[in-house]
Amino acid sequence: MNILDRYHAMEYGPAPEARNEADAWLAARDFGKALFIGGDWKAAAGGKTFETSEPSSGKLLAEVSDANAADIDAAVAAAAKALPKWSAASGYQRAKVLYAIGRAMQRHQRLFAVLETIDNGKPIRESRDIDVPLAIRHFIHHAGWAQALDRDFPGHRGVGVVGQIIPWNFPLLMLAWKIAPALAAGCTVVLKPAEFTPLTAILFAEICERAGVPKGVVNIVQGGPEAGVAIVNHPGVQKIAFTGSSEVGKIIRKATAGSGKKLSLELGGKSAFIVFEDADLDSAVEGLVDGIWFNQGQVCCAGSRLLAQEGIADALIAKVKTRMSRLRVGSPLDKNTDIGPLVDLTQLDRVKGLVAEGARQGAVCWQPDAALPSSGYYHLPTLATGVSPANILAQEEVFGPVLATMTFRNTEEAIELANNTRYGLAASVWSENVNLALHVAPQLKAGVVWVNGTNMFDAACGFGGYRESGFGREGGREGMFEYLTAKLPLGPVIKPATMSAQPVEQADGAAIDRTAKLFIGGKQVRPDGNYSLAIATAKGKLAGEVGLGSRKDIRDAVSAARGAKAWPEATAYNRSQVLYYLAENLSGRAGEFAARLTELTGATPKAAREEVEQSIERLFLYAGLADKFEGRVHQPPARAVTLALHEPVGVVGIVAPDASPLLGLISLIAPALAMGNTVVAVPSERYPLLATDLYQVIEYSDIPSGAINIVTGRSAELAGVLAKHDDVDGLWVFADAETCAKAEAESIGNLKRVWSGNGRGIDWASDQAAGDAFLRRAVEVKNVWVPYGD
C-alpha cells in the first residue's frame, strides 16, 4: 500500500473536548436559585422549576428556576431602581464595566464554549471559534460606543428599562447582541433566555458579579411563556427587544400596540443562496455548507434556498452531494463533528414533518448514506430538489439541516425567485463578477447580503431584516439607536375626530361647486363610493367639499404607489431637484395657501404666512438632505468591507394631524419622498382642503405619477385600512391614541414599520421636528458584505 492509498484509507479518530470543568460547574451550582435579580440569586416565587437536557443524549442537565409574573415584577423593580444612577454615569464609567465584562468572558471562554455545546448541541468548533469570541467582541466594541455616546448621538439618552427575550439557537451570542448596546446606552436590563438553553446566561450573570456590574443593572430571569408575557406586558418596561419566530413577533407587536414601548424584532428568515454560472463552484459549495448546515441549520439567516443558474445547476448539485456525504454527524463535543443534534425532540419532529410534507408536495429529498448516533436528536443533512416555488420547503422556515433547490435562467428571474418569500432577513450572492453581485444585492429584499460568503457577522455591522423578518437592527450604529431615544417637541394630546355629520352653513355667494377629488396615480379622481365630506371654515361656513375616501380608494392609491418605479429608482440628486422645484412652486402660491389657512383654521394672517414659509423651508431642508443622508462603509476585523446602504422603506402610509395642517403634512411627506419612498397620505380630516390645494402644485413640479397619492376622508377609518394592507411597508400615524393603537395592532399582517405619536401631537414648527430623526424612519439599512483579497 503506497502513501496515497494510506491517505485515502485513513479515518477520523475521535477528538473529544474535555467537559470536566463544565460538569464541575454544573455540580456546584444550585439551579433552584437561578434567577439573578437585583444582584442576588433567588428561587422562583412560585417554587417551580423546569428541566434542561443535553440534546446529544437526552440526559438531564439541571432543574432550573421557572420565573412567574411576581419574579418579573421584582426584576423590573430592581432595574428601575438601578436606572437613575446607571444612566447618569459617565460614558467612561459604563465603558469600563462593559470592557470588564468582555475581559472576564475571555478568561472563561472555554467554559462558556463547552457549556454552550452541551446545552444547545452545536459543534464545539462553532461555540469555541465563533459564538464565544463574537459575544466577547460585542461587549468590547460597545464599551467604545458608551464612551462616544455624547459625541455620536447628541441629544439622545437611554430609553430606560429594557425587556429582552432571546432564543435557543445562539444563547450566548444573542445575549451579547441584546445586553451590550443596552448597557452602553445607559439602559438597565431584564433578560429572559430560552427554556431549552439557560446555562450560559447563568454563567454570564456570575461574570456580571465578578466584573463589577452594579446591582440591578442586569437581571436575568429563567422561565417559560409566563415570564415572557409578563415582560412584554409590564408597564415598567420602556422597550422590548425580541429574537424568535415571526409568529411570536406578531403577538408581541399586537400586545405592545398603544403602550408607547419601543420595539425591535429580529425574526425568521428563508434566505436565498444565489449561485451564478460564473461563480467558483467549489467555493460556493463550502459557503453553502456554512450557510445551511452551520448550527444544524438552526439559524434564522440560514441559506436554506439554493438558487442555481441552469447552466451549472447539475454540476453544482453533484458537488453538493459529494460534500454532504463527507459531513460528519456526531457528538457535538468532538472537534471533528460538522453537524450535531437538534436542540430538542420537538424540533426534530418538526423538521421531519416538514421534510415529509415537502416530499408529498413533489420535492425529491436526498440524504447521504450515513449512520446517526444511537441517542440524541439528530437529523441527517437533507437536499431537496425538484422544489417548486410554492413548496413548503421553499416557503416555510424549516430551522433544520434542510436545503431546498431551484434553478433560474437569468438575473431577473434569480431576483424574482429570491424575493418570492414573506421574509427578508439575509441573502448570499456568488459570482466572480463583482459588478453583477453589486447589481443584484440592492434589488434583494433582505437586510443583509453576503457577496461570495455567508454568515459573516460583526458588532460594528448592523444585522436585521425586512418584511416578516422583523424591524430594527442589532449591532453597529443603527443597533445603538434601538436603545436610545430623543425627545421630540410634543404638542397637546390629540382628541378623536368629532366632525359633525350635520350640514354646514352655505357660504354667501358660493353657488359654484367646489368638491375636491382624490389624488391617485398622478390624477384627480372621484372617490369610489361617490360620497363627499363638507368642510367648514373657522366661522362655520361651507369652505368646500372633499371626497370621502374608502377602502377601495386606499387600495387604488397603494397600487399606484407600488407601481411608481420611477421615483425610488431616481438618483438622490434627481429627487433633490424635484423637491426643490416643489418648494419653489409652493412658494409661488404662498399667499393663496396662507389665505386658505386663515379661512379654515382662524389663524391670523401673520401666523398663516409663517406656517406656509416653514412648510417651504422644510421642503428645502429635505431637498438638500436627499443626497446627503447616506450610508456608511464599515471595516470589520475580516478581509471584507460592509456597505451599510440606505434604502427606501417602500410604500409609506401617512396619516397627518389637524394641528399645523399644512406644515404637519409637508413635514411627514417630504422626508419620506427624499429617501425614495412612495406615499399614500391621509391629510388632516378637519382641514383637508390644504392638501387638495396641493394637487396642482404637485402636478407641475415634475413628481412622477404615483409617487404622492392623497386620499381624503375619515382619518381613523383610513388609518386602519392602511395598517391592514400588506402592500404598505411603513405607516406613520399622528392621530388620537385609540387610532394609533389600532394601527399598531392591525399592522401585524406583514409586520410593517409603524411610527405613531401615541396620541400626542408634535410642535411641527420646532427645529427638532425635522431632520435625521425623520429620515431614519424613512430608510432601511441594508448591510452588504464584500470580501477582498485572494
Rg (CA), the chain: 28
Closest CA relative to residue 505, chosen from 548, 546, 538: 538
Q: Which residues pair with 430 in a beta bridge?
A: 275
Residue 600 in contact with residue 514, Cβ under 8 Å?
no
The whole-angstrom separation of Cα 83 and Cα 78 is 9
H or E element: which one contains 192?
Answer: strand 188-192
Distances from the Cα of 117 to the Cα of 114, 336, 723, angstroms: 5, 14, 43
Look at the block and give the residue holding cell 395642517.
Answer: 661
How far does Cα 649 stand from its chain's mean position?
Answer: 12
State the chain's maximal CA–CA distance in angstroms. Answer: 111
Order of all β-strands in the sheet with 632-634: 364-366, 382-385, 402-408, 305-309, 272-275, 426-430, 448-451, 779-787, 640-648, 632-634
461 is catalytic: no
Could you give the CA distance from residue 294 to residue 426 in angstroms, rounded to a whole number? 15
DSSP 130: I
Q: Coil, helix or strand for 151?
A: helix
Helix, strand or coil for residue 480?
Answer: helix
Q: Measured between alpha carbons, how far is residue 48 from residues 32, 43, 226 in Å?
A: 9, 8, 12
Phi-psi region of 143 (alpha: psi -120 to 50; beta: other; left: phi over 0): alpha
Neighbouring-strand partners of residue 334: 16
* Catalytically annotated residue among 54, 126, 187, 300: 300
Residue 452 backbone class (left: φ over 0; alpha: ψ -120 to 50; beta: rest): left
Grid coordinates given for 133 = 469570541
Q: Cell numbers 466584573 label which residue? A: 211
C-alpha grid cell, residue 120: 444547545
Residues written for the chain:
790
- Residue 47 has a CB neighbour count (10 Å cut-off) of 10
What span, in angstroms and rounded, lies between the C-alpha atoms of 709 and 561? 7
How far CA 77 is from CA of 13, 187, 234, 649, in Å, comes to 53, 14, 11, 37
Say which residue the cell 459549495 belongs to: 285
- Among residues 302, 493, 301, the alpha carbon closest in space to that of 381 is found at 302
- Is 266 a known active-site residue? yes
655: which strand partners?
A: 682, 733
Q: Which of 126, 195, 266, 780 is catalytic?
A: 266
Catalytic residue annotation: 266, 300
